[in-house]
A and B are shown apart, each in its own frame.
Chain A
Amino acid sequence: MDELDILKKDWQSSQKVFQQKSSKDFYIMLHKKSSSIVKTLLYISIAELVFWICLNTIPLFSSDSYKEQLNMVYKNDFVFYAITVISYAIILLFVYLLYQTYKTISATDNVKKLMENILKTRKIIKYYVIYNLAVGFIAMVVGSYYGIVNNPEIATDFNNFNQAQVIITFCLIAVFTLLFVGLIWLFYRIIYGILLRRLNKNYKELAKLEV
């Protein structure tokens, strides 16, 4: 007799060994909060959206110097408004995509499908962060260029630089910005790595079967 069949015999006969819950227990349980991974992901994605929106919007309202700098960069009002509209449209697009994928997550799907849908959500949050980091990188580099060119004190020093020095300065700015962006990315990867370690492992196990 197979080992599992011995277990099966016991398994099917052990109907009463569990401490039975009463209907009262169940009514209490229905109103407890879930601690599912989907809920955690939902909170994180909302936090991501709010964080990046705040980061992009608050300086615009609170810092006059930032506004002045922006005015220097965007001498043309149309360009400024176009960029603002496009960036909010992109945020809205991400919110829409996130909402759509969250809606598809259902505990009644099969195990593999459920995992795929959760991983899809995680991918959208990932693209959103990549988008923000890329925009942040470009904005930092372009912003520091205009900052230097338009700042009378630095601009005078800068005019005395030879071409090689100018190139080195911008390379340094780019490298430091990249490093900074890389650190945020790493931090982000670690958080999701820990959170989704088990899910990724189980998904790989199932996907491996289908090769």
Chain B
Amino acid sequence: MNTELEHSFVGLLEENQNIVHKICRLYTNNQDAHNDLFQEITIQLWKAFPNFRGDSKFSTWMYRVGLNTAITLYRKSKRTIHTQEFDNLQHKIKAEPYDDTEEQQLKLMYDAVHQLNDIEKALVFLYLEDKNYAEISETLGISEVNARVKMNRVKTKLKTILNP
């Protein structure tokens, strides 16, 4: 039997599910892994939901729990296949006859982001979600200055990956 709490949780989650999808997109490389991480984030959100007091937006609260799950709590299941090397190979092949169409560039960008480490991905994610440095530093637990410094390093790293 579904309780009232479940109903309100599922309603909010269904509405905001793209946040979870986006985190999965950055942290996984295939559909199976995407679904696995999606499920774990949902479980962690549900477990933490009784403590959600509504003093922040549901979406903001989701960023925290979602990133915590992707970076720290989630243990990759056996089904998860690493396609990192495959991606790199693809990247190398495509990088040579460089095509400047936007779609091509986006594909390369996503591949490059996949090569970043977990913390760098979190910074990129929050940046893409248009979060300011105060929010980024609060979510990660680092100072605002360091969030800025790190973000600049990530940008440089991405440039290096894209233009070796």
Q: How far does the alpha carbon of A109 sit from the alpha carbon of B139 in the complex, in Å?
A: 8
- Tell me, yes or no, whether A120 is within 8 Å of chain B by CB: no
- Tell me, yes or no, whether A36 is within 8 Å of chain B by CB: yes
**In contact, A110 and B139 (Cβ under 8 angstroms):** yes
- The chain B residue sitting closest to A198, CB to CB, is B118
Scan B147-160; emit 1 where CB is below 8 A from any A CB, else 0: 00110000100110
Please classify the interface of chain B as helix (H, G, I), strand (E, B), loop, or mixed, using the class held by over half of its residues: helix
**In contact, B44 and A36 (Cβ under 8 angstroms):** yes
- The chain A residue sitting closest to B42, CB to CB, is A29
**In contact, B69 and A11 (Cβ under 8 angstroms):** no
**In contact, B142 and A29 (Cβ under 8 angstroms):** no
Q: A30-B42, A36-B40, A107-B73 are in contact. Are A15 and B140 (CB under 8 A)?
A: no
Q: Which residues of A contact B29 (CB under 8 A)?
A: none
Interface positions, chain B 47-73, Cβ under 8 Å from A, are 47-48, 51-52, 61, 64-65, 67-69, 71-73
**In contact, B48 and A111 (Cβ under 8 angstroms):** no
| Size band of the interface chain A makes with B | 35 or more
- Tell me, yes or no, whether A168 is within 8 Å of chain B by CB: no
Q: How far does the alpha carbon of A80 sit from the alpha carbon of B82 in the complex, in Å?
A: 56
- Tell me, yes or no, whether B106 is within 8 Å of chain A by CB: yes
Q: How far does the alpha carbon of A38 sit from the alpha carbon of B142 in the complex, in Å?
A: 23
**In contact, B162 and A26 (Cβ under 8 angstroms):** no
- Tell me, yes or no, whether A77 is within 8 Å of chain B by CB: no
**In contact, B118 and A202 (Cβ under 8 angstroms):** yes
Residue of A15, A110, A115, A199 near B138 (CB, 8 A) is: A110
**In contact, A107 and B47 (Cβ under 8 angstroms):** yes
Q: How far does the alpha carbon of A109 sit from the alpha carbon of B13 in the complex, in Å?
A: 19
Q: How many A-B residue pairs have CB under 8 A?
A: 152
Q: Which residues of A contact B128 (CB under 8 A)?
A: 4, 7-8, 11-12
Q: How far does the alpha carbon of A12 sit from the alpha carbon of B125 in the complex, in Å?
A: 11
**In contact, B64 and A108 (Cβ under 8 angstroms):** yes
Q: Which residues of A contact B42 (CB under 8 A)?
A: 26, 29-30
Q: How far does the alpha carbon of A204 sit from the alpha carbon of B67 in the complex, in Å?
A: 17
Scan A34-72; emit 1 where CB is below 8 A from any B CB, else 0: 111110100000000000000000000000000000000
Scan B121-149; emit 1 where CB is below 8 A from any A CB, else 0: 01010011110000000111111001001
**In contact, B43 and A32 (Cβ under 8 angstroms):** yes
Q: Which residues of A contact B149 (CB under 8 A)?
A: 209
Q: How far does the alpha carbon of A7 sit from the alpha carbon of B155 in the complex, in Å?
A: 12
**In contact, B138 and A37 (Cβ under 8 angstroms):** no
Q: Which residues of B contact A40 (CB under 8 A)?
A: 75
Could you jot down 13 A-B contacts, CB within 8 Å?
Answer: A18-B17, A23-B10, A35-B77, A37-B74, A107-B47, A107-B64, A108-B51, A108-B52, A108-B61, A113-B141, A206-B119, A209-B142, A210-B143
Extra A-B contacts (14), CB below 8 Å, given A27-B10, A36-B44, A201-B117: A4-B124, A6-B106, A10-B106, A11-B128, A20-B17, A32-B39, A36-B43, A110-B139, A111-B64, A111-B68, A112-B142, A114-B72, A201-B118, A206-B119
Query: Which are the 4 A-B pairs with shortest beta-carbon distances?
Result: A112-B141, A110-B141, A18-B21, A36-B73
